[in-house]
Amino acid sequence: MQILRLALVLASLVAAQPFSEEGKRLIKVSEDLDAVWMSEAQILGLIEKRTHFMDVTDHNFLARAKAREEEIPTALRFQTVVDEAIARINISRMESFVDIFDDFSNRYYTSESGVAAADRLFTQVVESIASSGYQGSASLSKYIHSWAQNSVIAWGPSQSLGLNIDLS
């Protein structure tokens, strides 16, 4: 049984993405620790020790953000639209919204408080739709993942919005 489990894990690692040029993958073993570059041998060691881990190589948000830096426009456009949007910002409502989620000790996707935070987000969006005048033209659902925390997907007139609690 262990050999089959090991074979399945290795097959999924290989099929998911080839190893980087250095032959390493970015591995996260805890929500409290930073991800670490590990070789295939080190990953096999984790598997042998039955250490839970997540391969986040393809979720390197910092690298994606750096790649996007070059795409930042240098000239202002749509200034009137932006000014109108800024005028409608309700700072006290934003602070209240942030305070709700700041009360959760942890919003990690596998933690109990992370699940509770996602459920609270769903409730918050239900309340926002009810008070916005979009009842009937907006809808909401939970996207069920293989992990405990769900994502929230909201649809409005001509648009959709996926909502997630932060990953770490």
Quick: pLDDT tens for 91-132. 998 888 888 888 887 777 778 888 888 898 889 888 888 887
pLDDT at 64: 53
92 and 127 part of one domain? yes
Same domain, 53 and 109: no
Looking at the fold, whether 61 and 109 belong to one and the same domain comes out as no
58 and 36 in a common domain: yes
Is the same domain home to 22 and 47? yes
Question: Of the residues 14, 32, 67, which one is the last residue of a structural domain?
Answer: 67
91 and 144 both lie in a single domain: yes
- The alpha carbon torsion through 117, 123, 128, 130 (nearest 10 deg) reads 180
Query: How many domains, the chain?
Result: 2
Domain span at residue 127 reads: 78-163
